[in-house]
Each structure stands twice: as structure tokens, then as C-alpha cells.
Amino acid sequence: MRPIFVEAVPIDLIKISTNLAEEGYRLMTITSTAADETYVIHHIFMSFCHSEEPLIDIRTQIDSNWAGLIPSVSEVFIQATRFESDLTAATNGDVHFESKSKSVTTNAAIEEVAGVSQIPVGPVHAGVIEPGHFRFSVIGESILNLDIELNYLSRGVEDTFIGTRAEKGLNLAEHVTGDSIVAHGLAFLKAYESSLSIDVGENERIRRSLLLELERVACHVTDIGGLANDTAFGLANTQAQRIRESLSAINYRLTNHRILRGSLNLHQTKLFELPSQSTIDRIKHHVIEVSQLIEEHGIVRDRMIGTGVLSREDAQRLSAYGYVGRASNHSCDVRQYLPYNHIEADYQEIIESSGDVMGRFLVRRREALSSLELIERYLKFLRDEGTKPDESAVPSTPRSIDDQAPTSNFGFGCVEGWRGATCYFVETNENGAIKKVKITDPSVNNWAALPIALHEAIVPDFPLVNKSFNQSYAGNDL
């Protein structure tokens, strides 16, 4: 779906953003397109309240004569700070934003307080993990504040897309972060197809959605086991990994790849051996069994309940996505508000209200089961309708100059990945080659919520709370 375009002048950005926030819209990304000496700034918003206009692109044109600062919308949407900083860097300082947001308290501001100690962790960690630096300010075991420093592995990912075509771009998207292959791949495809006004038929949408739900179940099951393991309940973790192995075997028979890499396709997603109903029933039974084993264990419950609480107000303020937001009674499921197919249109998102580790565990458990129900419906549809391509599927060749397409097109794609809203902005030229890509992984917002949840927790609970968030370094360090 293409966004509704609204032209604006810089001075009106804060007012427009405030009005959209009050109407239930959230800022998904800020990026730019350029022509000659003119920049067009795009503030893309998505509605999370069943609006008739779910996507809105506020476009602000800045030419070479512009001498002022563009008002920052960070006082309305905190996450805008990251987007604005990225855009300033991407334009070599040609675009500047003026922020009135108040600075937050950091460890540097409290490190001289009597009795406060500093605990530095990383960026090199003991396990096989990407680099991130965590600096705790503590009194005894109580955490007063946590500073997180990321971006140690900025890889220039977005620039790598430039000049490529759809197949290569899809391959790059699938490698942005290795545990969200389908989420990033599908978000890229949706944005690319939107940029060229390509419509995809319902059969293909179902095939793609099936893969997305299989990825979600596998990752949620893995995290369920990981949470148990961080409470020293290794038996439950072993059982969860056994379920994950069964799901990997399903993926392999379905797509010829255990983690679904290369299964999405611009023309038609290829599926081989569809899993049987009995296979899905068996997975569902095992998920229920291991989840109950964890939830009913007294020591595990004691560790999870009331630990690492993120309030609804903070989840809304930070626009937390995925299970992090929904565990805090914050509605944020793209499938609910921007369904991709007729089956997804009936989906009801999973909400918990406690905002603690147990809440994030329960959202994972319930979402894994709801995804298995979606998978059952997708499989029934595919068995009934067959796996033949739709008549409206993507053409075999990119658009050419003969199609009289404009010299530049751009589209936006958003997918409810297993971590949350995964977004791509893609600009293409008249031949379908990629001119620009802007990627927004849900981890960008959710990393900012982790220190809030850890405030007044104790240091030994950090691994458990961190695992309950389980955010991506690679999705942040682009």
C-alpha cells in the first residue's frame, strides 16, 4: 500500500506531527529523496487505530537556498532523534534539525554521587555476541541507570543496496540481521513493489505470510527456552530447542532452507512439501507443554513476575514494538492495522498488561500459538487453491523507459516481524534499479526501552531482563 502524500513546510512539522500523534499515528521513519540541489524530507507515519488512511508521508521540500534549521519532531516522537541524526549524516550536513527535547540523565551526571559505583560491560563479551557497551550506575546491587552504546559495527548496509536490482536487493535484505530473514526480506519486497506500483496476488501474499509466521514461531520458541535457561531451568530450554529443531526441519522440507533464506522471490515464492495438519498439531502440543512447564515452575515465576517492568506510558512514549510493547498493554501489531491478506485481516493481536519479564514471556507463548493457527489457515488455503502463480503476479522484467514511468519512484513497506514493525523505504529509477534504501528495525526503538525497564532492578536480573527484550545489534548497527 502506498502512503498518502501530504505537502508541508518546515514550520508546520511539529503541529502536523502532534495532530497525527493524537489521532493514533506513529512515526515509522524519516528519510529523504534528492533531485539536483533539492531535498524532499519524508516523515512517514502509520496509523494504529484502523484509519482509512493507514500510511501518511509528510513531504517537506528543502532547496539549496534554505538557510534555516528544520524543526525536530523529537519532542512529539522520541525516536525521531535517531532518524534525524542519520539523515543529517546521510546528507553530509545539508539537512539540519533543531531539537528542543530535554536531555536525559546519564551515568556521567550521577557518577560523582556518594555510594554510586560503575559497572562497565562490553563491547567485547564473553559469549559469541555482537559488540555493545553497557555501563551500569549502581548502589549495591540496585541499578540506578544504564547507558547503552551501540553502533560499533556500522557496516554501510543501506549504501550497499544502491545500484542493485530487486533480486540482489532482496538477498541483501535477508542478510541484514540473521534471525529476521523473512521479516526484512518481505519488508523490502513490499517497499520495492510499492515503488513500481506492482500489485501482488492473494496466493503469493499467503505464501509469503506463511513463511513470516514460521519464522515468528521458531524465534519465539527459541526465546521461550532462552528465558527458562536464564532462570537456570535448563530442562525447559532443552525441550524448547527440540521444538525449534522440528520447526527447522519443516522449513527445510518446505523451502529447502532451515532458516528460510532464499525462499522469498520477486516473481513467486517457491514452496515444496507443505507440512501436514498432524505435524502442526504436534508442534502446537509441544509449545503448550513446555510453556506450561515454565510458567508453573515456582522459582521461574518468582524470577519473572515483577522483574524488568516497562509501564504502558513508557512503552507508548518510546513507541516500543513487538512483544516488548504488547506486554505493556501497548497496541502495535502491524498485522492488526495493516493486514497483508484476507486471513490476516481477521487477526487479533496479543496483549498483556504486566509489562514485566513474565508479560513478555506470555506474549511470546500466546503469539507462537496464534501464529500456528494462522499457519493452519494458510496451509488450508494453499491446499485448496494450489500453489500456482496468480494472474496479477509480478512481471518477469523490471519497468523500462517505454513504460513512461517517472524518473524516480519510492515506496514504503512495513511488516510485523517477530520482533515487531520492520520497515523499508525504497527509491527506484525508471528501470527498477535501487537509488536509496532506508531500513528501520524494531530494535532501534526497543533498545531505548531497556534502560527504563532496568531502573531499580538488581544487577543479577540484567541477563534475564535483557533476554526478555532480546533486541538485535545488527538491526541497529546498519
Q: What is the per-residue pLDDT across 143-200, written as a single tens digit (0 to 9) for each?
A: 999 999 998 888 899 999 999 999 999 999 999 999 999 999 999 999 999 999 899 9
Q: What is the pLDDT of residue 35?
A: 74
pLDDT of the residue at 394: 43
The CA–CA distances, whole Å, from 421 to 60, 258, 318 equal: 24, 23, 14
Q: Give the confidence band of 401 by pLDDT, cuts at 50, 70, 90.
A: very low
Yes or no: say if 409 and 3 are a contact pair by the CB < 8 Å rule: no
Specify the DSSP class assigned to residue 3. P
pLDDT above 60 (res 286): yes
The CATH number assigned to the domain with range 4-98 reads 3.30.460.80
296-300 contacts, C-beta under 8 A, 24 or more apart = 297/233, 297/236, 299/231, 299/232, 299/233, 300/228, 300/231, 300/233, 300/236
User: What is the structure's pLDDT at 80?
Assistant: 92
d(CA 340, CA 334): 9
Band the pLDDT of 17: cuts 50, 70, 90: very high
Of 99-108, 229-238, 362-371, minimum mean pLDDT range = 99-108
> What span, in angstroms and rounded, lies between the C-alpha atoms of 103 and 62?
28
C-alpha to C-alpha distance for 359 and 369, rounded to whole angstroms: 16
Question: What pLDDT was estimated at residue 400?
Answer: 35
**Taking 60 as the threshold, does the pLDDT of residue 341 lie above it?**
yes
Average pLDDT of the residues of the chain: 89
Residue 254 CA to residue 213 CA, distance in Å, equals: 13
Q: Grid coordinates standing for 452?
A: 527504563
Residue 248 pLDDT greater than 70, yes or no? yes
Amino acid at 260: L
* pLDDT of the residue at 440: 95
> Concatenated DSSP letters for 157-224?
HHHHTTT--HHHHHHHHHTSSTT-HHHHHHHHHHHHHHHTT----HHHHHHHHHHHHHHHHHHHHHHH
> Does 157-468 match 4-98 at the fold level?
no
- Chain-centroid distance, C-alpha 466: 17
Full-prediction pTM beyond 0.85?
Answer: yes
Alpha helices in 261-356 (DSSP H): 277-295, 298-304, 312-317, 322-326, 334-337
Question: What residue spans define the domains of the chain?
Answer: 4-98, 107-149, 157-468
Strand ranges of the sheet holding 133-139, from the earlier edge strand across to the other edge: 117-121, 133-139, 142-149
For position 399, what pLDDT does the model report?
38
Q: Tell me if residue 144 falls in helix, strand or coil.
A: strand
Over residues 218-245, the mean pLDDT reads: 96
Q: Where is average pLDDT lowest: 69-73, 184-188, 382-386?
A: 382-386
- Residue 312: pLDDT band by 50, 70, 90 thresholds? very high
> Spelled out in words, what is the top-level CATH class assigned to the domain 157-468?
mainly alpha
- DSSP line for 411-459: EEEEEE-SSSEEEEEEEEETTS-EEEEEEE-THHHHHHHHHHHHTT-BG
- Whether 392 shows a pLDDT value over 80: the answer reads no
Banded model confidence at residue 112, pLDDT cuts 50, 70, 90: low
Taking residues 53-73, report their average pLDDT: 84
CA distance 89 to 478: 13
CA–CA–CA angle 52, 62, 195 (5° rounding)? 45
Q: Is the pLDDT of residue 46 over 90?
A: yes
Task: Report pLDDT for 109.
Answer: 55
Residue 104: other Cβ atoms inside 10 A: 11
In angstroms, rounded to a whole number, what is the distance separating the alpha carbons of residues 87 and 253? 42
Check residue 76 and give its pLDDT. 93
How far is Cα 15 from Cα 435, in angstroms, rounded to an integer?
A: 31
Dist. CA 315–CA 329, nearest whole Å: 8
> C-alpha grid cell for residue 214?
514460521
| Per-residue cell: 292 | 506450561
Q: Which amino acid is at 196?
A: L
At 444, the amino acid letter reads V
Is 174:189 a contact under the CB 8 Å cutoff?
no
Question: What pLDDT score does 404 carry?
Answer: 37
What pLDDT band is residue 323 in, cutting at 50, 70 and 90? Answer: very high
* pLDDT reported for residue 65: 67
Residue 145's SS3 state is: strand
Residue 395 has pLDDT above 60, yes or no: no
98 falls in which pLDDT band (50, 70, 90)?
confident
Residue carrying C-alpha cell 559488540: 131
Query: So what's the pLDDT on residue 108?
Result: 54
pLDDT band at 397 (very low <50, low <70, confident <90, very high): very low
